[in-house]
Structure 1
Amino acid sequence: MSPVPSPTSDRLSAYLASDAVVDHEHPLIRAHTDARRGTAEERARAAFLFVRDEVEHVIDAGDPRVTWRASDVLRERVGICHAKAHLLAALLRAQGIPAGFCYQELSALHGLNAVYLHGNWARLDARGNRTGAGGEFSLDEEKLAWPVDVARGERDLPEIHPAPAPAVVDFLMSSRPGPGWYETGLPKTL
């Protein structure tokens, strides 16, 4: 059973902030979201599907590029799970939809998002559904890319952070492009 997501900040405005990683004020992000129409849920679903299906996961694609800033992930259309989470948060926040960052401790630290809609938080995992992953957009029940296997020591972390984990950002910013760049140094825990 998944933990109940709990925000680490009681200020909803913290989950709308723009910074160097979640740069939702960047012209590329704004251009991608400005034409969006529909309810907040419809716009959130569209952003999720775009990131999940139109932005390649570096491992699935065998892509040597390293991206970490949301606008770079959008421009390059590739990123590891954490980078894809940065982009999804930026696309949601640019539309006034609060979004945060969540993590799972799998074989390495896995990054995903939480979105605040209809007065509740729901975790979303736009990692991409190649190689057996199964993330789906759902506000009613969690449909994350990877189930946690507690027998293997894996665990869900229930916290919803307003900013990406510094250990993840530091790792991504210091990584050099090349085959398998993500294989060493990716944090295993927060």
Structure 2
Amino acid sequence: MQLSIVTTLDYAVPEPVDVLLQLEAAMIPEQHVLHAHIDLPPLDHFARVPAQAYIGERIWLRTGAPLKVRYEATVEVDRILADIATLPAVPPHLLPGETVDYLMPSRYCTSDTFHEFVQKEFGTLQGGARVAAIRDHLAGRLTYEAGSSDSSTTAADTFRSGKGVCRDYAHLMIALVRASGIPARFASVYGLGVEPQDFHAVAEVFLDGMWHMVDATGMTTPAQIAKIGIGRDAADVSFLTSYGDVELVSQSVQVTQATPA
């Protein structure tokens, strides 16, 4: 499947500021960036740096001009798809080193507080069957509600409130999977079918020797997703981090199915 992506950001900049952007679709084997272009404001500094795990890139900017960004891309998704429920877990002592960080609690994914819950609720299930059960449990338990959370909301907060947005679904999914002894990480993505259209968040779980996407919101599927980057949680993969004051004027994300040339 080919996806057409158009993202625009417009932020007022009261004084010169350093900004870290991560909003471009990653150039990785599971997806092919057929076309991409980014328009940026006048800059005092520009540099590309690798993002976490070398999946995608971040852009360092320094500017005193209004931060007006337009990114356009066409991405062909060529991801290996599998039925999560059928996949075995990798025993912890056999996990590759690069997956171990994603077993640990992180700022928003407080997995160490959920061991008792996952054992009580999902203790009879193993591997992908448990992951699928967690996904289905969250789909039935949580209510998607815009504005119900903010940048400080953790997985534990979402568990208590029973509502959130895609970031909150992903954080709680990750926390419960990590509490089950399975590596899980946060992925920032563009997803076809996401409503309201915006930057989207899903979990990735390590099963049967590979990473597999899981969207607990049910709004999109791995075949309809272009990955931007990954991290332990949302703190690692924000689309915009400013080291100084910026003020939102407007932003938009549009993801549509492209017609192959």
TM range, smaller chain? 0.5 to 0.7
Residue number among 149, 152, 158 corresponding to 1:66 in the alignment:
149
Instruction: Tell me which residue corresponds to 1:99.
Output: 184
Identity %: 22
Structure 1 residues 105 and 30: alpha-carbon distance in aligned structure 2, compared to 1, 3 A threshold: same
Q: Which entry has the higher C-alpha Rg, 1 or 2?
A: 2
1:174 maps to: none
Match of 2:129 in 1: 42
The answer as to 2:93 corresponding to 1:8 is no
Kindly indicate whether structure 1 or structure 2 has the higher relative contact order, using CA contacts under 8 Å at least 6 residues apart.
Answer: 2
Of 206, 209, 234, which residue of structure 2 is paired with 1:164? 234
Aligned to 2:139: 52
Q: Quick check: 1:14–1:162 contact (8 Å CA) kept in 2?
A: yes
Residue of structure 2 aligned with 1:114, choices 176, 195, 204: 204
**Paired position in structure 2 for 1:25:** 112
- Structure 1 stretches of at least 4 aligned residues deviating more than 4 Å after TM superposition: 184-188
Q: TM-score, normalised by structure 2?
A: 0.49
Distance 1:55 1:105 in 2: 22
> More helix per residue: 1 or 2?
1
| Aligned residue in 1 for 2:75 | none
Distance, in Å, in 1 between the alignment partners of 2:134 and 2:187 is 17
Structure 2 counterpart of 1:125, from 215, 219, 223: 215
For 1:110, the aligned partner's letter is: H
**Match of 1:87, SS?**
helix
Q: CA RMSD in A?
A: 3.2
Shift of 1:20: 2.5
Change (3 A) 1:163 1:66: closer
Separation of aligned partners in 2, 1:55 and 1:83:
10
Q: Name the CA distance, whole Å, in 2 between partners of 1:70 and 1:122.
A: 20
> 1:170-181 maps to which residues of 2 (within 5 A)?
none
Q: What is the total number of aligned residue pairs between the two structures?
A: 149
**CA deviation after TM superposition for structure 1 residue 116, in Å:** 0.6
Offset from partner CA, 1:46-101 (integer Å, 9 cap, x none): 11111222111114xxxx53162011111111110001100000000000011111
Q: Higher strand proportion, which one?
A: 2
Residue 101 of structure 1 contacts residue 111 of structure 1 at CA under 8 Å; is this kept in 2? yes
Take 1:48 and 1:83, find their aligned partners in 2: how far apart are those partners?
13
Deviation at 1:159, TM superposition (A): 3.6
The alpha-carbon distance between structure 1 residues 44 and 79, as it changes in their structure 2 partners (threshold 3 A), is: same
**Any idea what the Cα deviations from partners look like across 1:18-71, whole Å, max 9, x if unmatched?**
022100112xx2332022222211111111111222111114xxxx53162011
Q: Mind listing any 5+ residue stretches in structure 2 that lack a counterpart?
A: 3-28, 32-51, 55-96, 192-196, 242-248, 254-261
Secondary structure, counterpart of 1:48 in structure 2: helix
Query: What displacement does 1:105 show?
Result: 3.2
Equivalent AA in structure 2 for residue 15 of structure 1: Y
Corresponding letter in the other structure for 2:233:
A
